[in-house]
Amino acid sequence: MRATTIRQQISTPARVGGWLRAFWPPLLTFLLVIGLWEAAVRGLSIPLYLLPAPSQIVATFMERPGYLLRIGLATLSNALAGCAIGCTLGALVAALCVRWPIAADGIVPLAVAASAVPIIALAPLMGIWLGSISPASKIGVVAVMTFFPTLVSVYRGLISPRADALLLMRSYAAPPRDVFTRLRAPAALPFFFSALRVCTTLSMIGAVVAEFFGGPQNALGVYIKTQAGILRTREAWSAILVACLLGLAFYLLVLVAERIAMPWRKEQ
């Protein structure tokens, strides 16, 4: 029997079935929570300024979907840019740490500590340094937030190959460049993507929260803060809805990229 046929036989129905099984329970839970929320707001007559019902939030969103999506995309692009910068630099510094272990001894423990620190607290300072209205300060916050977890995770991935795997390379008299590109880097890919998944969430949070401390009028964080400030709760919630949808889309994008980049993990 050929390996490919075995693979197809097992996986096609199993994968669809598995996907459905994995997909339904959270969807049901989600619908249940939304239903309870809707019922609670209506049944307990909760005032609108405290908590609008989901149906009201969606209706508010539908009044000006174009505008909300446009300011959402402005914020998302800050998140994307910051995440790209932070993750790239994090991976680069991790590679340098592998090349110069002395640097790793100094940098990696600090990066581990920095990953546990609420870097978002830097947001107001970033405003002072890079201009509170300009996107640069938001991108800066996101870049710093994503830099440390990526560095730590990619570094762990790069040093993950076992002694035997490295000895094999030595027995081929492989130059350091080959050891890096053919062993360390591919071994670090799963670590990189698990960092990236965390970083998508972090960067959406970072971008929105950074805008609470100032930003251009047409930005999600600014809109949420302004609307909440004048008790226009429905409007604030409709923007939060957009933030959630865009964050999810970003996350799914990373999942798809992960599958494409690591085909060998598909059936594991």
Partner 1 sequence: MDTPIIEFDRVSKIYSSGGGPITALHDVSLRIAAGEFVALIGPSGCGKSTLMRLIGDLEQPSGGSVRVKSKTPEQARRDRDYGIVFQAPVLYDWRTVSRNVELPLEIMGRPKEQRRERALSLLRLVGLGDFADAYPHQLSGGMQQRAAIARALSFEPSILLMDEPFGALDEITRERMQLELLNIWSGANPRPTVIFVTHSIPEAVFLADRVVVMSPRPGRVQRVIPVDLSRPRTYETREDPRFFALVTEVRECLRTAE
CB closer to partner 1, 136 vs 169: 169
Task: Give the residue, chosen from 45, 102, 162, 229, that forms a contact with partner 1 under the rule CB under 8 A.
Answer: 162
The reply to whether 264 sits near partner 1 by the rule CB under 8 A is yes
Task: Give the residue, chosen from 22, 102, 173, 260, that forms a contact with partner 1 under the rule CB under 8 A.
Answer: 173
CA 208 to chain centre: 13
The reply to whether 168 sits near partner 1 by the rule CB under 8 A is yes
- The DSSP secondary structure of 44-97, one letter per residue, reads TT--TTT---HHHHHHHHHHSHHHHHHHHHHHHHHHHHHHHHHHHHHHHHHHHH
- The DSSP secondary structure of 178-189, one letter per residue, reads HHIIIIIHHHHH
Nearest-CA neighbor of 54 among 70, 35, 71? Answer: 35
Q: In whole angstroms, how close is the CB of 168 to partner 1 at the nearest point?
A: 6
Binding mask 181-210 for partner 1 (x = CB under 8 A): -xx--xx-x---------------------
Task: Give the amino acid at 88.
Answer: T
Q: In whole angstroms, how close is the CB of 145 to partner 1 at the nearest point?
A: 29
In order of 24, 62, 235, the CA distances from 249 in angstroms are 19, 19, 21
The reply to whether 85 sits near partner 1 by the rule CB under 8 A is no
Total residues at interface with partner 1 (CB under 8 A):
27
Q: In whole angstroms, how close is the CB of 163 to partner 1 at the nearest point?
A: 10
Binders of partner 1 in range 6-25 (CB under 8 A): 6-7
Cα–Cα dist 194/214, whole Å: 31
CA 144 to chain centre: 14
Instruction: Give alpha helix (H) positions in 132-184.
Output: 135-158, 163-171, 176-179
The reply to whether 3 sits near partner 1 by the rule CB under 8 A is yes
Q: Which stretch binds partner 1 (CB under 8 A): 33-41, 46-54, 69-77, 176-184?
A: 176-184
CB closer to partner 1, 166 vs 198: 166
Task: Give the amino acid at 23.
Answer: F
The reply to whether 156 sits near partner 1 by the rule CB under 8 A is no
Angle at Cα 65 formed by Cα 211 and Cα 124, nearest 5°?
0
Residues in the site for partner 1, rule: CB under 8 A?
A: 1-4, 6-7, 162, 164-165, 167-174, 178, 182-183, 186-187, 189, 262, 264, 267-268
